Amino acid sequence: MDELQRALLRLHLTPGLGRVALFKLNHYFGDFLSALNAPPKQLEEAGLSRKLIDKIPAENEPAYLQTRRKLETLQVRLISFWDPDYPSLLRQIHDPPALFYLRGTLPSKDCFAVVGSRRATTAGRQLTRDLGKNLAMHDICIVSGLARGIDTAAHCGALDANGATIAVLGCGIDRIYPQENVKLFHEILQHNAIISEYPPGTPPLAGHFPGRNRIISGLSRGVLIVEAAEGSGSLITGDFALEQGRELFAAPGTVQNPTSKGVNRLLKEGAQLVTEAADILQELWPQQLSRNQQQIVDQFVNQLDGVPLNIYQQLSHEPLHIDEIGRKCGLTPMEVSAILLDLELQGGVQALPGNSYIRGQL
């Protein structure tokens, strides 16, 4: 930890000195080391009260030194708003964190947030895990809050694909909450990132989670909510998404399920409906969708040879009658029909009324 980070840590550990004060200090002094070396009168001119100035921990204060050693042992980095590593999307929200604590490595990919009920249904968890895996396979980083239920499923889905994921905590970076996610916490750390805006040692109090939620949406191009009851904290993340100009998505749920009421209301109010990852990709990353589709087509074509390959190559997205296919390939309609049926079962061909065919959607 260099001296600039040590100065920032001392200020962040000062009781009552929040993000607004940190922005003021940096604006006034240019950096936090200069702020700490300034006389009290200048700190007062920058907006700090004398009472607050007196609370700034000294360089040799035991509590500060203990925290610093803990962060160094855990290999925690402090990322400030003024660092080049600070995520560009998060920098654009109206109340960005002045700093956050980082364990692991921030993925350099586009991010998408997935949040939802802690008391999720089995179906909701499975849908979320599938979506997280599919998005990660398209090189999208999944952001969530490490909570039980939907958050856990989202992170696990990304890890299933050996993809990228970021967990944003509502407690200190040195704490794991909930404890049942200890294994998941360390799996994320291996190649991905865990971040927190809160000082080390901060407990997971209810009041911290709205702040955590604004970071989840702030990091992301869009937010998907899966299973959320009315009044759910996940809906707060949706509110932040709309305030921050992010795309809001929701997965529909069973009308009788209480955890579906919030998401179903969002859909009525205009959130984009999601039943598969393609719904998200089509809206935010259509180029990823088309690139992946081309890879699937290429894999399918590489499995073909001889007559089936010749027949497939005659087809396009314009309907072609079976007799015309046979004429081009020098085959009888019966021979063509048998091969077309096999190609159709593989998804490479789609039959249309009137014995016409086009390429399938695979």
> What pLDDT digit, counting tens, does each position of 45-64 carry?
999 999 999 999 999 999 99
Quick one: what percent of the chain has pLDDT higher than 90?
A: 85
pLDDT at 293: 67
Average pLDDT, the chain: 93
Cα separation, 17 vs 12, in Å, equals 7
* Positive or negative torsion for Cα 139, 194, 213, 7: negative
Helix axes 286-302, 277-284, angle to 10 degrees: 120
Domain topology for 104-285 = Rossmann fold (3.40.50)
The domain spans of the chain are 3-73, 104-285, 303-359
pLDDT tens-digit readout, 241-274 = 999 999 999 999 888 888 889 999 999 999 999 9
Cα separation, 147 vs 133, in Å, equals 18
Cα separation, 139 vs 132, in Å, equals 11
pLDDT at 5: 92
pLDDT tens-digit readout, 4-34 = 999 999 999 999 999 999 999 999 999 999 9
pLDDT at 127: 95
Check pLDDT > 90 for residue 65. Answer: yes
Helix, strand, coil in percent for the chain, rounding step 5: 50, 15, 35
Mean pLDDT confidence for 158-166: 96
Question: Tokens 């599938």 appear where?
Answer: 130
Question: Which segments of the chain does DSSP mark as H helices, in order?
Answer: 3-12, 19-29, 32-37, 40-45, 50-55, 62-73, 88-91, 122-137, 150-160, 182-191, 209-218, 233-243, 261-268, 277-284, 286-302, 306-314, 322-329, 333-345
What CATH code would you report for 303-359? 1.10.10.10
Is the CB of residue 196 less than 8 Å from the CB of residue 173?
Answer: yes
pLDDT at 146: 98
pLDDT tens-digit readout, 87-127 = 999 999 999 999 999 999 999 999 999 999 999 999 999 99
